[in-house]
Structure 1
C-alpha cells in the first residue's frame, strides 16, 4: 500500500506551514522532520512505498538527488520553500511554490496559497522565522490587537527556539511530537488556552536559556559586525538561533555571528545579516564547508576549527558598517 509523507523543517516556519496545509487538507501521512539544521530529510522517504510527498521549508538544493530519485520513480511531490533552490527540475510530478525574497518564509507562502485561511498559524511561523516587519504588517492588516500580536510573536519565538539542537535529545519537544500536539487546533490561541502545560514548558526553557546567553560578551567586534562564542552545552545549542535573531533585532545596522562549540572540535555557526541590509549571509556561509541558508540568515553546520579565524575575518570583511 502506497503512503503519503510530510517532510518539514523542525523549526517554527516548517511546523506552522504544515499545520496550515493539513488543517485545510487533512491527510494521513508519515512525518519526517528533525532538528532545525537537519535538512537532508528527503532521502528518508522510500520511493518504493511513497505515493506523494509534501516538502516544506527544506532547501531543495541540499535534497536534489533524493528529489530526482522520487520523481524518476513516479512519486508526486509538492514543494514549498524560501531557501535558494538551485536549479529547479522541470517535471510533471513536481509542483513548486518557491520564493527566496528576504521578507517571506514558507508559512507565508502557504498562507498566500490558502488565502489566509489559517492566518494566525502563518503569523506564528513568520514571527518565529524573524520576519518581524512582515508579520507585524500582516497582523495589523488582519485586525489583531497589540496583545494578540505579542502573544503570537512570543509563541513563534518559543517554537523556533525549540527546533535548535545538535540532536533531538537537546530539544524540549521533538518537532514531530509538538506538531502532533498542535495539529488539532485551528488557531494558536486555542492551543495556548487548552495546553498551557506545553506552552509553559517552552516559555520556561526559553527564559532560562536566554538568561544564560545574556551574560555572553562579544568574542570579536568591529564597526558593523560582532561575533559571539557559546559553549558546547545543550542550553547554548538550543538558544543559538533565537539569540542570533535577538541580537539582530536589537541593533538593525549590525551583523551578528553566533558560534557554538561542538563536541567534535568543530563549530556550529549562525549568521544574521543586518536588518537594514538583509543580504549576503547565504553566500558567506556557502563559502565554507557545510554552509548554506538564506540571504538574511544562514549557518554553517560544522565549521572546521582550523577555519575559525578565516570565517571571522571573512564575516567582518563582508559586513562593514557602510555596506
Structure 2
C-alpha cells in the first residue's frame, strides 16, 4: 500500500496534484487542517510499502519517519520547513530546500521538469511567495489575466486549509485534492461557473469582510498584532489575513491571534516581506510553536502569554 501524506494547504495539495498528474497511483491519502502537521504517525507501518511526504516538517515527524525507514519502507520527502537532524538512510529520498522564497510545490515543479508549472504558480501565490510565482509565470509567458486567476485560486485553496478541525473547512483537504486532480490545467476552473473556485471565492470574500472587526493590539512601524474572535470564520481567515496584511505593509511583521474554545490563542506570524526571516525563531520560543523563516505559528498560546508574545515579536524585529 502506498501512502500520500500532505499538508492540507495550497502548497501541500497542489504539490500532490502535480505528482499524481505526472505519476498516477492508487494511494491512501493522509492529510488534515493546515496546522495538523504530525501526520506521518497516521501511516500504518505494517501495511505501508512506500510513502510520499509533502509539505510537513521533518523535525515534527522524525520519530515516525525513522520507524518507517527502520522497516525498510522507502520514503520520498519534499518540503521547505525545518528538518532537524535528517536521517541518513538509503530508503530516504529527500528534496529539502529551506530558502524563504521557495515552497514544496515549486520543488515538485522542478522535480517534474516544470510539466505542470501553472499549478506550481498557483501554489506559490497561495503560499504568499508572489515574487517567485511571478518569476515562474513570466518565464512561461503567462498573461497578466491568467496570473491574476492563478493567484486567486492559490489564495482560496490556501484559505480552505485553515481551521482547528475539519468541520471548520469548506472542503476536507483530501476531497479538495481529488476535485482539483481532475484538471491538468487549472485555468479550466475559470470557465466552469459551478467549479470549486467560485464556491471558495464567495466564501473567502464573506469571511474576509467579517475580519474587518478584528481587534488591534499593537500597530507600530515594526509590527502589527490583531485578534480575531472565537468563530469558524476567524479560524478560516487567520492565515490568509496574515498574508494580506504582510502584502499591505511589507516592512512590518504581523501576528494574528485567534481565540480558541479553551481561551488560549492560535497564532499566525508573518515575517516582513522585505525581511523574510525569523518567524520560526519567534514562534519556537513558545510551546507548540513552529514553522519556517517567512511564516510560522503557535497552536496554543495561553492568554497570559500574549504580552510576552508581542514583546518577543517586537524585540526580534527591532
The residue that corresponds to 2:128 in the other structure is 130
Give the Å deviation of 1:222.
2.7
CA distance in 2, matches of 1:295, 1:32: 25
C-alpha distance in structure 1 between counterparts of 2:305 and 2:89, whole Å: 39
Q: Give the superposition deviation at 1:184.
A: 2.2
Tell me if structure 1 keeps the 8 A contact 2:189–2:195: no
Judge conservation of contact 2:268–2:296 (CA < 8 Å) in 1: yes
Deviation at 1:116, TM superposition (A): 0.5
CA contact (8 A) 2:281 2:293 kept: yes
Partners of 1:100 and 1:196 in 2: CA distance: 38
Mapped contact 1:222–1:316 kept (Cα < 8 A): no
With structure 2 as the length reference, what TM-score do the two structures score? 0.98
What is the CA–CA distance in structure 1 between the aligned matches of 2:289 and 2:191, rounded to whole Å?
Answer: 39
Q: Deviations over 1:174-214 (max 9, x none)?
A: 00001011112111112343463422210011000111112
In structure 2, the residue matched to 1:318 is 316
DSSP 3-state at the match of 1:50: coil
**Residue 264 of structure 1 is aligned with which of 262, 265, 279?**
262
Indicate the RMSD between aligned Cα atoms, in angstroms.
1.0
Of the structure 1 ranges 245-254 and 216-225, higher mean CA displacement relative to structure 2 is found in 216-225
Moved more, 57-66 or 219-228: 219-228
Q: Counterpart in 1 of 2:13?
A: 15
Report the TM-score, using the length of structure 1 for normalisation.
Answer: 0.97
Q: Which of 227, 230, 244 is equivalent to 1:229?
A: 227
SS of the counterpart of 1:288? coil
Question: Is the partner of 1:218 in helix, strand or coil?
Answer: strand
SS of the residue aligned with 2:5?
strand
Secondary structure of the structure 2 residue equivalent to 1:219: strand
Cα distance in 1 for partners of 2:132, 2:91 equals: 32
The equivalent residue for 1:97 is 95
Structure 1 runs not aligned, ≥5 long: none
Residue 184 in structure 1 maps to residue 182 in structure 2: yes
Please, which of 29, 33, 38 is the counterpart of residue 35 of structure 1?
A: 33
Contact 1:123 1:139 in 2 (8 A): yes
1:151-187: CA deviation from partner (whole Å, max 9, x where unpaired): 0000000000000000000001000001011112111
Match of 1:121 in 2: 119
Q: Please list every run of 5 or more consecutive structure 2 residues that lacks an aligned counterpart in the other structure.
A: none
Distance across 2 between alignment mates of 1:137 and 1:75? 37
Q: Which residue of 2 aligns with 1:80?
A: 78
Give distance in 1, aligned partners of 2:146 and 2:10.
18
Aligned counterpart, 2:217: 219
1:248-307: CA deviation from partner (whole Å, max 9, x where unpaired): 001111110000000011110000010111111001100000000010100001112221
Distance 2:193 2:7 in 1: 23
Contact 1:270–1:300 (Cα < 8 Å) also in 2: yes
Secondary structure at the counterpart of residue 166 of structure 1: coil
C-alpha distance in structure 2 between counterparts of 1:223 and 1:180, whole Å: 43
Alpha-carbon distance between aligned partners in 2 of 1:113 and 1:127, rounded to the nearest angstrom: 19
